[in-house]
């Protein structure tokens, strides 16, 4: 579902970039591909305030998220309102804040929870670990993109895709081998 929605919204973004005046399209392009280059202080400050408000709520939701790893009927039997947790706006707000500043870094969103789960262990949902892993991954990808091919800047989304694509393929293949 997410891939389909992402493809539709990505095509709308591309259409808007194609139809925009060239100067506006050039100004929007770094954000559209995902980069931290030349971000103004105001959006970054707003991101900090938003995450300071959302992260404690996410930590409180951690138990319910852990229970959602079970089947829906078991989670409901344990008292979790499955539909309310799934449709809750908290994840959307956190992701929206991050995308508003850094652009669409989807591979980082896929990699961070997996890396946090590997570090923190399989029990529970590592909310804080995922947030720290995601922030670290994006900062490292942005730094690598700025330094490895200097003076040309490689967008952070390309760095995360080059690293994350093979890692996610390895995870999928490894999990497939464990299945009976």
Nearest to 112 by CA among 89, 135, 80: 135
pTM of whole model > 0.85? no
Nearest to 98 by CA among 85, 108, 111: 108
Radius of gyration for the alpha carbons in the chain, expressed in angstroms and rounded: 18
Cα 168 from chain centre = 14
User: Counting runs of H as helices and runs of E as strands, what totals does the chain give?
Assistant: 9, 0
**Rounded-to-integer distance, Cα 91 and Cα 54, Å:** 9
Q: What is the dihedral of CA 159, 162, 168, 170, to 10 degrees?
A: -140
36 contacts 155 by C-beta, under 8 angstroms: no
Q: Over its length of 180 residues, how does the chain's per-residue pLDDT go in tens digits?
A: 667 887 888 888 888 888 989 888 888 877 777 777 777 888 888 888 988 888 888 877 777 777 777 778 887 888 888 877 776 777 778 888 888 888 888 788 888 888 888 887 777 677 788 888 888 888 898 888 889 888 888 888 888 888 888 888 887 787 766 655
Handedness of CA 136, 147, 152, 46 (dihedral sign): positive
DSSP 132: H
């Amino acid at each position: 579902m997410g891939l389909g929605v992402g493809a539709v919204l990505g095509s709308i973004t591309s259409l808007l970039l194609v139809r925009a005046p060239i100067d506006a399209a050039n100004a929007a392009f770094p954000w559209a591909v995902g980069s931290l280059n030349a971000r103004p202080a105001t959006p970054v400050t707003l991101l900090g305030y938003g995450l300071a408000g959302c992260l404690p709520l996410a930590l409180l939701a951690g138990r319910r998220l852990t229970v959602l790893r079970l089947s829906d009927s078991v989670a409901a039997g344990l008292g979790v309102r499955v539909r309310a947790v799934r449709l809750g706006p908290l994840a959307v707000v956190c992701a929206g804040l991050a995308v508003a500043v850094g652009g669409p870094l989807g591979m980082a969103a896929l990699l961070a929870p997996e890396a946090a789960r590997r570090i923190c262990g399989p029990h529970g949902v590592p909310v804080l670990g995922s947030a720290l892993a995601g922030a670290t991954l994006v900062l490292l990808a942005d730094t690598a993109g700025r330094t490895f091919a200097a003076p040309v800047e490689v967008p952070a989304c390309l760095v995360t895709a080059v690293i994350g694509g093979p890692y996610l393929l390895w995870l999928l293949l490894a999990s497939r081998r464990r299945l009976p």
